[in-house]
Amino acid sequence: MSESRASGDRFAVELDPAMLQRHIDELGAIGALAEGGLYRGVYTPAWAEAMALVQGWLEALGLETRRDAVGNLFGRLPGTESQRAVLSGSHIDTVRQGGKYDGALGIHAAIAAIGALKAAYGRPRKHLEVYVICEEEGSRFHASFWGSRALNGRIAPHEADSLQDADGVAIGQAMRERGLDSSAIPSAKRDDVDAFIELHIEQGRILDDEGYDAGVVHTITGLRQLRVRVGGRQDHAGTTPMDLRRDALAGAVEMIARLTGAAEAMGRPAVATVGSIAVAPGATNVVPASCTFTIDTRHSDPGKRLELLAAIERHLQEVAARRGLELEVQQLIEHHPVPMTPAIRDLVEACAQAEGLRYLSMPSGAGHDSQIMAQHVPTGMVFVPSVDGRSHTPAEYTPVERSVPGVRVLARALYRLAY
C-alpha cells in the first residue's frame, strides 16, 4: 500500500510504508548485541556493514553516491539548474544497547522522501541529497557530531590523534582501518549547501502523550554538564555525634534535592539530572569523606538557562558553607541553545499545515546534528512521536504509520526547497 497526498499547490507524492518498514528492520538488524539492542560505533565492523547496506539502497534508487574524508555518505539526485544542494538525513551510529530509530529513521525518511520526489517530479532544480552522517553519538570516541562537524569545517587538527576509544585506538587510526585518510579531513568541508532538514524521533513523550502527529523544532536545548566533588571528614559512624559531622554524602544529597527542585519549580522544559554518584570510602560504618556527582542541566531559552544555572550554583555554595564542606565544581560540557533557522522552521510548519497535521512547535531536549548544521547552514527539524517517549534503549519504537506523516512533511519541504 502506498500513501499519497495532494493539495491546492498540486503537490502529490506517493510513499511506500512497506519499504520504509523494511529498511527500518534491515538496518535495525545490524549491530545487534547478545544482551539486547544495537551498537554501531563509528568505524566498527557493524558501522561499515550498515554503511554498505545504505549505499546499496541509494544506488538502487538511482542516486549518485560518494563518501567524504570522514566517511559521511551522500546520495545525490542531481539538479538541473544549480550547483547548490539541499540535504536531508541523520546519523547511522548508535549508543550502546540503542534502538533502531534514533538517527536511522531520519536516513530512512530522507530516502523515502527523495525517492518519492524523484518518481513524481524527476530531477530538481538544485541537487537533492540523502545525507548519511557517519557519527553523532560519541559512543565510541568522545567525538560527538564528528560527521556534521567535518562537513562544516569544525574538526581541530589534533583530534584525529588525540581522540581515543576505550581500547586506546585513536580515531585517526580507526579511520585508516576503514580506508579513510585522516589528513584529508579538511576536504570534507562543504560550502554548497543551501538547506538541511533532519527528521528524528522526539526521544521524549510529549508528542505521544498529547496525540500530536509531528513536532516542529524551534530550538535545540542548551546544555551544561558539571562534575561536583563535595569534601567532608571521615569519621566513625557510631561515635561521631550528628551535630559534629562533616558528612560529604549528606551534603551532596541535600544539594541534589535542591538543584532538582529548582528545575521542577521553573517548569518545562527546564531539566536537571544527577546521573552518576560515587562515595568514598564507601563503608557502612564510616561517615563519608567525599562524594562526587554529575549534573546535566538543560533549557532551550538562553535567559532561563542562565537563571537555572545561577540557582544551582547558589544551592551548591549555600549547602557547602552551612555544612562546613569543601566544594569543587568542574565544567565538562557547555552547549548554548541553538535556534533553528526561522525561514526553514516556518517552511516546515507551513508544510505540516498543508498536510493537515496536528503538530506542536517545540524545543528539542536532546542534542542533534542539526545544532551543528544550523550554525553554518539554514536548518530545520521535524519530530515524529516516540512511543512512551522511549529512546537510547532497545524498547525505542515508532510505528511506521506514525512516521509517515512526518515523512510527508519532509518531502513537501524538500520539494519547496529544491524544485
pLDDT per position as a tens digit, 106-137: 999 999 999 999 999 999 999 999 999 999 99
pLDDT at position 6, please? 41
pLDDT band at 138 (very low <50, low <70, confident <90, very high): very high
Distance in angstroms (rounded) separating the CA atoms of residues 86 and 132: 13
DSSP states of 176-216: HHTT--GGGGGGG--S-EEEEEEEEE-SSSHHHHHT-SEEE
Q: What is the pLDDT of residues 55-87, one digit of tens each?
A: 999 999 999 999 999 999 999 999 999 999 999
pLDDT(3) > 90 = no
pLDDT(1) > 60 = no
DSSP 38: B
Spatial CB neighbours of 186, under 8 Å, sequence gap ≥ 6? 69, 153
pLDDT at position 9, please? 58
Percent of the chain with pLDDT over 90: 97
Distance in angstroms (rounded) separating the CA atoms of residues 259 and 256: 5
Percent of the chain with pLDDT over 70: 98
Question: What sign results for the dihedral spanned by CA atoms 211, 213, 218, 223?
Answer: positive
Tell me the pairing of strands 127-133 and 85-91: parallel
Mean pLDDT score, 171-178 = 98
Map out the domains of the chain with their CATH numbers. 3-220+337-418 (3.40.630.10), 222-335 (3.30.70.360)
Average pLDDT, the chain: 96
Q: For residue 191, count other CB atoms closer than 10 A to its CB.
A: 9
Q: What is the pLDDT of residues 346-368, one digit of tens each?
A: 999 999 999 999 999 999 999 99
Which three three-digit cell numbers place residue 102?
A: 534514533
Which three three-digit cell numbers place residue 159?
A: 583530534
Mean pLDDT score, 137-158 = 96
pLDDT(216) > 50 = yes
Within 295-399, where are the H helices?
302-323, 342-354, 369-373
pLDDT at position 307, please? 97
pLDDT at position 2, please? 42
pLDDT at position 10, please? 79
DSSP states of 388-416: GG--SSTT----HHHHHHHHHHHHHHHHH
Distance in angstroms (rounded) separating the CA atoms of residues 356 and 352: 6
pLDDT(8) > 60 = no
Q: What is the pLDDT of residues 369-389, one digit of tens each?
A: 999 999 999 999 999 999 999
pLDDT(5) > 90 = no
Confidence (pTM): 0.92
For 6-20, 194-208, 384-398, 399-413, which range has the lowest pLDDT when averaged over its residues?
6-20
